[in-house]
Amino acid sequence: MRSLDDLTMYMYGLLDPAAEEKMKAHVATCPDCVRMGRRIAAEHKLFKGALAREYPDLPAWTSAGATRHRRKS
């Protein structure tokens, strides 16, 4: 498995294009990263929901953070 920080940044869509391509290639062959990536995406969804409920007037960009699984659609 790669660095948890790198995987989190990948799932949140925050890596530069070159690093994103490297991580994408790695994740395609690493079942541990796939499992952890799913957990990161689920946690991100929970955090976004909690933030939206607590602070409904936040700017749209705060709730628009796409996770890797959503960007593919």
What are the Cα distances from residue 52, in Å, to 19, 42, 48, 62?
30, 16, 6, 9
Q: Read off the tokens for 51.
A: 């933030």
What was the pLDDT predicted at 13?
Answer: 87
Give the rounded distance of the alpha carbon of 61 from its chain centre.
Answer: 15
Q: Please say if the pLDDT value at position 52 is more than 80.
A: no
What was the pLDDT predicted at 35?
Answer: 95
Mean pLDDT of 39-50: 87
